[in-house]
Amino acid sequence: MKRMQNERVRVTSRDARIYAFGDSLSDIGNIFTVTGNQSPPSPPYFSGRFSNGPVAIETLASRLGLAVRPETNFAIGGAKTGRENVGDTPAFRFGGLLDQIDRFVSTTGPRGANPKALYFVWIGGNDLLNQPNATSAAISQAVEDVRSAVTTLANLGAKNIVVVQNSNLGRTPFSLQTGLLNTLTNLTRDFNNRLQSALTPLERNSDLNIILSNLFPISEEIAQNPSEFGFSNVANSYLQGLLPTDPLADPNQFFFWDQVHPTTRGHTVFAGALQEDIINEITDDITRIGTRRDDVLVGYAGNDRLVGQAGRDALEGNRGGDTLLGGRGDDRLQGLQDDDLLAGGFGNDLLRGGAGSDQLFGQSGQDTLVGGNGIDFLSGGPGDDLLIGGGGCDLFSLRPRSGTDTIQDFDADGDLLFLPGQLTFDQLEIRQQGRDTVISIAETNQQLAILENVQSSSIDVSDFLGARSNRTLLDLADREQGGPLLDAIQAESLGLKNLLQTRRG
């Protein structure tokens, strides 16, 4: 992993895609198409995939909010690292990885590869499974083929290239039933180690970020502790030929669909491991812009800015100090790690801060705000909102003319209530209503908040923080008159950040 030196990267929907190269583990229907829908036979295989459902690259793309389409997926079942394919015949060649790279090159045009897209290479399984007695020279050649493919992509302008180190091929039913557990385990380790050694020098190029994702460790964890991953059978395949070994068995309990290919649940586990590596290894500060449709926008390890616009969007910040703006529509925003700013926009939104000192602004609509762990600031905005601070000492904003907010977990021993603008404690009425405390403006009887399961007698001036009495918070009254709401949020966040850091200490 390296920190790129470029400016903030703006990624639009046109850039948010994965270009995939490899074999049957990433083929989403290419060999099915060129064989006239004959291979793999579907059913029992799923729509031309070598599994019973979506494969890892599809699940990964969905989770990252990236597009993987036939025109960006060059992987083909049976491919080896060079120009051979285990399915090649004298009459027809399906080709290998280097042929896929050639086809991609022919589509790029004078501008080359899109540096904002993600590139994905997962190959080598067919080289090892079909040559278990491979010589050192054969392994070296396979590694050199992959290095050549990655170099070509980099020279075309590809920036973030994921290269997968194979799962333990010695654990496949094919290997176990032919007595090749140790042989293929050692071959897989050797190939993976040489691959890492060959690719590491390429990262001397400051414009290139190679993300090595090693699936060997997690494949061993699955084999040794299958129940932890929800599997009951990791040694046998669900299919025997084209029929289930046991028609009553649940395929989701099997890791392998056939002798060498995972079930879609197995692919999902691999997708999770790949996703974690990609998020951790891309450290650029990225701005991702959504569309008017329903979007999934995911940040990585930088200080990202995610803008949902219209539609029912799902925004996920991950690592870094991220800014998530939902826009119009009922959106779901998750900061996850570090100190984030979340603004729901217009609609009934769900905001989750996660870890870190987060600032959550519901804005218009009936929103649900969950601070999570850390010292968080929660402001519902116009509408009747539900506020849940979570762990840590949290601040809840009681803004007039913004509806009645319900605070589910207010703790008078640690949390505070923030009175913005000109509002003071003396202007409030605090009374008991059943098991809850209701806070209103005495003169107008306007309800500001309901504190669930809190005795009104436990609330006094020490539980309030006012903008007029604390210079670390900015008075937003002037900023909000005629200015964009986002300006007000940014102004408030400047003062809040200092206060949150003070309370944390």
CA dist., res. 331 & res. 92, Å (int): 50
Cα 140-143-111 angle, rounded to 5 deg: 145
Determine the residue type at 481: Q
pLDDT in tens, 416-425: 998 887 889 9
Give how far Cα 241 sits from Cα of 24, 41, 45, 234, 461, Å: 17, 11, 11, 17, 74
pLDDT at residue number 91: 85
pLDDT range class, residue 473, cuts 50, 70, 90: very low
Which pLDDT does position 164 carry in this prediction? 99
Phi and psi torsions of 104, nearest 5° = -65, -45
**25/226 Cα distance (integer angstroms):** 21
pLDDT of residue 399: 87
The mean per-residue pLDDT over the stretch 36-61 comes to 97
Structural domains of the chain sorted by starting position, each given as residue range(s) with its CATH number in brackets = 11-281 (3.40.50.1110), 286-504 (no CATH)
Tell me what pLDDT residue 476 has: 34
Q: What is the pLDDT of residue 474?
A: 39
pLDDT value at residue 490: 53
From residue 443, alpha-carbon distances to 172, 402, 424, 446 in Å are 74, 16, 12, 8
What does the pLDDT look like over 245-271, one tens digit per residue? 999 999 999 999 999 999 999 999 999
If you ran DSSP here, which 8-state letter would residue 414 be given?
Answer: T
Enter the tokens of residue 455. 């005795």
Output DSSP code: residue 227.
G
- Whole-model pTM: value is 0.88
pLDDT surpasses 60 at 3:
no
CA distance between the termini of the chain? 31
Integer Cα distance of 386 and 173 in angstroms: 51
Q: How many CA atoms lie within 13 A of 456 on its CB side?
A: 15
Q: Rounded mean pLDDT of the chain?
A: 90
Between CA 101 and CA 164 the distance in angstroms is 16
- Given a cut of 60, is residue 239 above it in pLDDT? yes
Better-scored residue on pLDDT, 392 or 183: 183
Mean pLDDT of 419-443: 92
Q: Which of 42-56, 113-127, 227-241, 352-366 has the lowest mean pLDDT?
A: 352-366
Q: pLDDT tens digits, residue range 309-357?
A: 889 999 999 999 999 999 999 999 999 999 999 999 999 999 999 988 8
pLDDT number for residue 401? 86
Of 432, 473, 480, nearest to 453 by C-alpha is: 432
pLDDT tier, 478 (very low <50, low <70, confident <90, very high otherwise): very low
Q: pLDDT tens across 57-79, in order?
A: 999 999 999 999 999 999 999 99
